[in-house]
Amino acid sequence: MVDLLDDLKWRGLFAQSTDEKALRESLKKPITLYIGFDPTAPSLHVGNLVVLLALRRFQLAGHNPIALVGGATGLIGDPSGKNEERSLNTTDVVAEWVGRIKGQVSKFLDFDAPKNPAIVANNLDWTSPLSAIEFLRDVGKHFSVNQMLAKDSVASRLEAGGISYTEFSYQVLQSFDFLELYRRNNCTLQLGGSDQWGNIVGGLDLIRRVEGGSGHALTIPLLAKADGTKFGKTAGGSIWLDPQMTSPYAFFQYWLNTDDKDVINFLKVFSFKSREEIESIEKLHNENPGAREAHRELARELTSLVHSVEICERVEAAARALFGQGELNELDEATLSSALAELPRTTVSKKEEIPSWVDLLAATGVVDSKSAARRIVKEGGAYLNNVKVTAEDFALSKSDFLCGKYAILRKGKRDLAAVELI
């Protein structure tokens, strides 16, 4: 049987622990652990998957996971990794986001497991009943301001220009969460990103002071890309788990377009394949990186996990069809719309005469001019819905629009554009 901590280390998911030997000993029996997610947006993003899937690994190993959604801390804002104050959201907005994030985490944990079902908790449940006086007397008195000022997240903000009392108090609220989960669920381990180390050990210290108890902290390295750019970001912004915010097709393509230098590392972090399977994929990748099989394995597994196997199959079929390796007319409108969302496009009114292929390609901006588009036709590199266009004056008809709405123009093998009939 694979040792859980050794597997986390091999996958690059182990940054720091308070006492690794004691943690190993405690993991010989089922323990309860948690990770917190603050509702700072309507959806989690792929960066959150790093720790969320780590929590899933603990459940698969027989432990009891709690996904804590920060209905209270989300109203305050974590200063970690920020150079300025967050904009505070209203209680109604945060409450809505809490509900959405609860639904998302439930896709990755098993709430019906016979021995170790997962739990979703909301820290507003134990924070809102407390008055300010009770919080200061019962919780705040256990914190040294000197130690709080020394925390990296606070120190960096002080150097950058200052921090409000609101965000300064965040570490007290997070520590209080650990104490409450220790009391309510006998939770003895908190997982988090490496930037959360100070907040997590603050919770352990609070448990010791208030209850005379003990627990463990385990942090996970913040994921970085080989080229130095931020993981989970594209020119269009963050990669979200919500299909309305990042389409399943764009989600699949994000993983498919992973840099060769990152793909094996990402498989270790995100995939539930065994070490032997990943090392086999790595061998094939090193022998023939151009085949991009490692990238496909990564994209398939993550898209299936986040969106479903059926949706993954549909978007992969769409990707093949766009480049002439499948039937475009077999795609449903939702999948086709998702696949075309990232392409340069132009629109045509149903009430007007439909322009020529040359005019439309130029209108999308894929080429600089109509003369360039004509040259592509002459050279045999012009396609409409994967069918070669041979005449410079070829004009589309309404029957050329897939699902009665979209037409796909292709220049050569790779350059695509969409035309939408409105």
Nearest to 14 by CA among 261, 193, 190, 174: 193
Give the phi and the psi of residue 13 in degrees, each rounded to 5.
Answer: -110, 20
Strand pairing partners for 341? none
CA dihedral 54, 67, 27, 275 (to 10 degrees): -20
| CATH superfamily of the domain spanning 4-220 | HUPs (3.40.50.620)
Residue type at 152? D
Q: What is the pLDDT of residues 388-413, one digit of tens each?
A: 999 988 988 888 999 989 999 999 88
pLDDT tens-digit profile of 168-216? 989 999 999 999 999 999 999 999 999 899 899 999 999 999 999 999 9
CATH of 343-422, one of 3.30.450.20, 3.40.50.300, 3.10.290.10, 3.10.20.600: 3.10.290.10
Structure confidence at residue 334 (pLDDT) = 84
The CATH homologous superfamily of the domain defined by 224-327: Tyrosyl-Transfer RNA Synthetase (1.10.240.10)
* Cα Rg, the chain, nearest whole Å: 26
Q: What is the pLDDT of residue 59?
A: 97
Secondary structure E strands in 175-291 = 187-193, 216-220, 233-234, 237-238
Q: What letter does residue 356 receive in the DSSP assignment?
A: B
User: What is the C-alpha to C-alpha distance for residues 420 and 349, in angstroms, rounded to an integer?
Assistant: 9
Structure tokens at 378: 């002459």
Q: Say if residue 235's pLDDT is above 70.
A: no
Taking residues 236-243, what's their average pLDDT?
A: 88
Does the pLDDT value for residue 366 go beyond 80?
A: yes
Cα separation, 230 vs 223, whole angstroms:
8
Minimum mean pLDDT range among 94-103, 142-151, 165-174, 382-391: 142-151
Tell me the range of 277-281, 317-321, 346-350, 378-382 where mean pLDDT is highest. 277-281
Range(s) of the chain covered by CATH 3.10.290.10: 343-422
Task: Calculate mean pLDDT across residues 33-48.
Answer: 95
Spatial strand order of the sheet with 119-122 comes to 16-17, 216-220, 187-193, 32-37, 64-69, 119-122
Q: Read off the pLDDT of each residue in 143-166 and give the average, rounded to a whole number.
A: 83
Q: Is the dihedral of CA 310, 117, 174, 216 positive or negative?
A: negative
- Beta carbons of 34 and 179 less than 8 angstroms apart: no
Cβ partners under 8 Å of residue 378, min gap 6? 392
Helices and strands: H and E segment counts in the chain:
19, 13
d(CA 61, CA 3): 9
CA distances to 55, 71, 176 from 119, in Å: 12, 15, 18
- At 41, list the tokens: 């947006």
E-only strand ranges, 239-369:
345-348
* Gap between the Cα atoms of 143 and 150, Å rounded: 12
Secondary structure class of 348 (helix, strand, coil): strand
Looking at the chain, which residues constitute the CATH 1.10.240.10 domain(s)? Answer: 224-327
Nearest in space to 254 (alpha carbons), one of 346, 314, 308, 319: 319
